Structure 1
Amino acid sequence: MHQFTPNWFALNMGTGILFLMLAQFPIPVPGIESLTRVLFWADIGFYVVFSILFVSRFVFFRHDAFRLLDHPVQSMFLGAIPMGLAPIINGAVDFYGHSHIAVHAAFDLWIVDAALSLIIGWLVPFYMFTRQEHAFERMTGVWLLPIVPAEVAAASAGTIGPHLSAQIEQFVVTIGYALWAISVPLAFGILAILFLRLVLHKLPHRDMAVSTWLALGPIGTGSLGLLLLGNASTRAFAGTGLSSIFAMAQGIGLLGGLFLWGVGIWWLGMATLITLRYLKEGLPFNMGWWGFTFPLGVYTAATFALGSETRFAIFEWFGALLTVVLTFFWTLVTTRTLQGMWTGQLFVAPCLLSPETGLPMFDPPPVTLDDELRV
């Protein structure tokens, strides 16, 4: 509990996007539907356990827990908390959309998810600006983590909107566009700076090798959000005074989604090349390996969405290929994570380690009356 860090929620992100993509897999596979349901409920179980551990750390070890906000890397993973919740919300409506209880629960959770995304999207950059120590040459893709949750929530708005009443759907879609606008421009600003950092200072240390894949996250989710919100808004505002304006949203969503998807092709190829380069040095396992899963998964989701919109088979088959790669990554990372959990080597909070010695840095216990009397 004392050593629990928010990067464990990356497990929810990776598992969640996997069961969502397996549910869209275009090739019939025996047992795949049952597997998606098992992964869905397992993901919920992990999220509940992780949430309890995370909250308990702030309740029982409050002072040490707040050091998380000062850590220039660990604090970024706070963004994994709302992003880990988003696939559960989407899965609830995709798998159980016929149930009013599931839909209402998904809507309530989406409100929480959107609120957390905004809070983290403001809080972590504020600490970056005022408390944390950063350097341009040490910048990596993890800077995206507190920014991207808002656009993930925006994509979820396009998923749950059609399952809600007309008035609530209009509200959700409108907020979804605002969340998209809050996140995507900032994320692309970070990507531009990241490109320059890689040119000037080359690749980061191999411990951060997987962070290159994180660039696919805002690109894939940005594309997916435009596609889903475009469809949802056209339907939500049909017959209203805004119908003429939102009638264009589907076309804009398709074109914008396709443009962003094309940008993702470049980052996908570059991330692959960089990973192959790192393999020569050997990649030490850490929880950052979950970065192989969610960014690739949301890009796969955008690929499937483009296939659904354009009816081009190439998108469907490419999405199927990416799903196979995603399944391989998830299996590999899950196996290594379970091994790390068993040995206990993954239960270390870097924010509690001294930067000079690498040893635990805990505050001494308060002096009690008995201690004073013994002195």
Structure 2
Amino acid sequence: MMASLPSTTRGLPGFDNLREIIRQFTPNWFAATMGTGILALALPQLPNIGPAREPFGEALWAFNIALFCLFAGLYGARWILFPHEARRVFEHESMSMFLGTIPMGLATIINGFVAFGLPRFGAVVLPAAYALWWIDVAMALACGVLIPYFMFTRHAHALERMTAIWLLPVVAAEVAGASAGLLAPHLDTAADQFTVLVTGYVLWAYSVPVAFAILTILMLRLALHRLPHESMAASCWLALGPIGTGALGLLVLGSNAPAILSAHGLPQIGAVAAGLGVIGGLMVWGYGLWWLVLAVLITTRYWREGIPFNLGWWGYTFPLGVYTVASFKLGTALHLTFFGTVGALLTIVLLGMWLLVAGKTLAGAWNRRLFHSPCIASAA
């Protein structure tokens, strides 16, 4: 049942449309902030394009902040105006998974504070980034365990209906862990740096083994039941998300571990962490290469047959983006131009895909076709 509204607003031109948009707003919209944010972070790393303050990437980061605030406002309004319907998200087998996109979208904004905010505004942005990071950690930890708990106790899943969206709530923690590696060296005190670094490693371990277990089950599901429905075509790219983020997390945590751990009298562990970061990141990147090639083959098959657009298409962007950024980091760590070249090529593909998906999303939002809550439809 819709919440009652003041008589002064009821019936105003456009207000009923806005109310229905709020009622139908779902968390999968936050996937757009993930894709936009990772593109903003990848673009400045293209060779011969400029430092991290490269104008287009910085502008895209600012736009992503506005987009995240808009989505947060709409989704928050849904919980205020339609709490009974909003709560159904926890019971929905698919839409509940997209709650993990909220902390992951926020993580790209936090990373942007380091990449763009610091050069532009200086250290004044660090307290905001630090506070937002802890909020992001809390949301990621909650999603990582509560959504699987609901899967075990409330949902009715079946192997033949499984898709890679099972990864979304789990991966949020490792995304926050990678952000820890980027944020830690810029904090004021050695104690804060150490705390964030250690927390980052815990977040990585909280997420990556579970994500890899899901990938194992996903391979079994694909072998036994073939590809999922065309409406879930983009989900084949989601497997690249935990792999790319896992490699990136090892690299950025490991690169900053020596200095931070040495300040706490642990130089030997710091050296080991740095080595494990490079070797581990390289090995995980290689695993991701297998999934990348497979995803290209699967996508070619889907697109040849024709697939309808939905918000799930944002799944083409963020996983590819984190794998791209991990490629750049490997190139820097190993001093190999190969990885930088791969990162540059993938960034161009990412930009093209973002333009395509963003354009279709804008058109679908304008005609309100994309504002549809499966939670409401399933309860009807």
- On whether the aligned pair clears a TM of 0.5, the verdict is yes
Residue matched to 1:324: 348
Using the aligned pairs only, state the percent identity: 53
User: What residue in structure 1 maps to residue 206 of structure 2?
Assistant: 182
Are residue 271 (structure 1) and residue 295 (structure 2) matched? Answer: yes
CA distance in 2, matches of 1:245, 1:20: 30
* Other-structure match for 1:57: 78
Shift of 1:29: 7.5
CA distance in 2, matches of 1:243, 1:250: 11
Find the aligned partners of 2:64 and 2:193 in 1 and give their Cα distance.
Answer: 27
RMSD: 1.4
AA matched with 2:299: T
Q: C-alpha distance in 2, partners of 1:192/1:239?
A: 39
1:291 paired to 2:303:
no
Q: Displacement, 1:280?
A: 2.2
- Residue from 137, 141, 159 that aligns with 1:118: 141
Which sits farther off after the overlay, 233-242 or 58-67? 233-242
- Which residue of the partner structure matches residue 4 of structure 2? none
CA contact (8 A) 1:97 1:163 kept: no
Structure 2's unaligned 5+ residue stretches are 1-21
1:174–1:50 distance in 2 versus 1, CA, 3 Å: same
What does the per-residue CA deviation read over 1:173-211, in whole Å, with 9 as the maximum and x for residues that have no partner? 000000000000000000000000000000000000110
**Cα distance, 1:28 vs structure 2:** 2.7
Amino acid of the structure 1 residue aligned with 2:307: L
Name the CA distance, whole Å, in 2 between partners of 1:246 and 1:34: 35
Give the corresponding residue for 1:200.
Answer: 224
SS at match of 1:283: coil
Of the structure 1 ranges 267-276 and 246-255, higher mean CA displacement relative to structure 2 is found in 246-255
Match of 1:280 among 289, 294, 304: 304
- Greater CA deviation, 93-102 or 176-185? 93-102
What is the rounded CA distance, in whole Å, between the counterparts of 1:127 and 1:53 in structure 2? 25
3-state SS of 2:169 partner? coil
Aligned residues: 356
Contact 1:219 1:299 in 2 (8 A): yes
Of residues 274-283 and 202-211 in structure 1, the stretch that sits farther from structure 2 once superposed is 274-283
Any conservation in 1 of the 2:177–2:249 contact (CA below 8 Å)?
A: yes
Deviates more, 1:281-290 or 1:21-30: 21-30
The separation in 1 between residues aligned to 2:104 and 2:378, in whole angstroms, is 29
Give the aligned residue type for 1:100.
A
The range that moved more, 233-242 or 100-109, is 233-242
Alignment partner, residue 115 of structure 2 = 94
In 1, Cα distance between the equivalents of 2:139 and 2:109? 15
The aligned counterpart of 1:226 is 250
- Alpha-carbon distance in 2 for matches of 1:162, 1:29: 22
Counterpart-to-counterpart distance in 1, 2:272 and 2:304: 49
- Tell me the SS of whatever aligns to 1:244: helix
Residue number in structure 1 paired with 2:336: 312
Q: Quick check: 2:177–2:203 contact (8 Å CA) kept in 1? A: yes
Q: How does 1:38-53 map onto structure 2 within 5 Å? A: 38-53=59-74
Q: Of 259, 275, 283, which aligns to 1:259? A: 283
Q: What letter is aligned with 1:6?
A: P
For each residue in 1:318-367, what CA deviation from the matched residue of structure 2 results, as whole angstroms up to 9, or x when unmatched?
A: 10000000000000000000000111100000110037xxxxx2xxxxxx
For the residue of structure 1 that corresponds to 2:378, the secondary structure is: coil
Alignment of 1:98-177 (within 5 A): 98=119, 99-164=122-187, 165-177=189-201
- 1:248 paired with 2:272, answer yes
The alignment partner of 2:262 has SS state of coil
Distance 1:175 1:28 in 2: 34
Assess, with a 3 A threshold, how the Cα gap between structure 1 residues 339 and 5 changes in structure 2: closer, same or farther: same
What amino acid is aligned across from residue 266 of structure 1 in structure 2?
W
Q: Which residue of 2 aligns with 1:80?
A: 101
